[in-house]
Structure 1
Amino acid sequence: MLRRSYGAAMSLVTYELDEHIATITLNRPEARNAINGALRKELNAAWERFRDDEDAWVGILTANGNVFCAGGDLKDGEGAVGTFGGTFWEKPTINSFESGMELFKPTIAAVHGPCVGYGVTGILFCDFVIASTAATFSFPEVTLGMPTIVGAIRLPERLRWADAMEVLLTGQPMTAERAKEVGLVWKLVEPDELQAQARSWAQTLTKAAPLAQRATKEVAWRTANMGWIESVRFGETMRKVAAATEDVAEGIGAWREKRKPQWRGH
Structure 2
Amino acid sequence: MGAPTTDKASTDTGSEPLVLRRDQDGVTTLTLNRPQARNALSMGLMAALQGELDAIHVDPSVKVVVLAGAGPAFCSGHDLKEMRANPGRDAVAAVFAQCSALMQRVTTLRQPVIARVHGIATAAGCQLVATCDLAYAADDARFATPGVNIGLFCSTPMVALSRAVGRKAAMEMLLLGDFVSAAEAEAQGLINKAVPASTLDDVVHGVAAKIASKSPLTLAIGKEAFYRQIEQDLASAYAYASEVMTTNMLARDAQEGIDAFIEKRQPTWCGQ
- Residue from 166, 175, 184 that aligns with 2:190: 184
Counterpart check, 1:7 vs 2:9: yes
User: 1:135: which partner in 2?
Assistant: 141
Q: How does 1:84-99 map to 2 (within 5 A)?
A: 86-88=87-89, 89-91=92-94, 92-93=97-98, 94-97=100-103
Give the fraction of aligned pairs with identical amino acids, expressed as a percent.
27
- Residue from 48, 53, 56 that aligns with 1:50: 56
Q: How does 1:69-148 map to 2 (within 5 A)?
A: 69-77=75-83, 86-88=87-89, 89-91=92-94, 92-93=97-98, 94-97=100-103, 101-148=107-154
Any idea what SS the aligned residue of 1:164 has? Answer: helix
Cα displacement (A) at 1:84: 7.2
User: Per residue, is there more helix in 1 or in 2?
Assistant: 2
Would the aligned equivalents of 1:98 and 1:124 in 2 still touch at CA under 8 Å?
no
CA RMSD of the aligned region, Å? 2.1
Q: TM-score, normalised by structure 2?
A: 0.87
- Residue from 188, 209, 215 that aligns with 2:221: 215
Cα displacement (A) at 1:5: 2.5
Cα displacement (A) at 1:98: 5.4
In the alignment, the residues of structure 2 paired with residue 181 and residue 225 of structure 1 have an alpha-carbon distance, to the nearest angstrom, of: 23
In the alignment, the residues of structure 2 paired with residue 123 and residue 98 of structure 1 have an alpha-carbon distance, to the nearest angstrom, of: 13
Would the aligned equivalents of 1:98 and 1:123 in 2 still touch at CA under 8 Å?
no
Any idea what SS the aligned residue of 1:162 has? Answer: helix
Q: Which runs of 5+ in 2 are unaligned?
A: none
Any idea what SS the aligned residue of 1:172 has? Answer: coil
In the alignment, the residues of structure 1 paired with residue 157 and residue 7 of structure 2 have an alpha-carbon distance, to the nearest angstrom, of: 31
- Residue from 157, 162, 181 that aligns with 2:168: 162
Counterpart check, 1:34 vs 2:36: no
- Residue from 204, 210, 216 that aligns with 2:210: 204
Q: Number of paired residues?
A: 261
Q: Which runs of 5+ in 1 are unaligned?
A: 78-82
For 1:5, give the aligned amino acid. D
Q: TM-score, normalised by structure 1?
A: 0.89
In the alignment, the residues of structure 1 paired with residue 6 and residue 244 of structure 2 have an alpha-carbon distance, to the nearest angstrom, of: 32
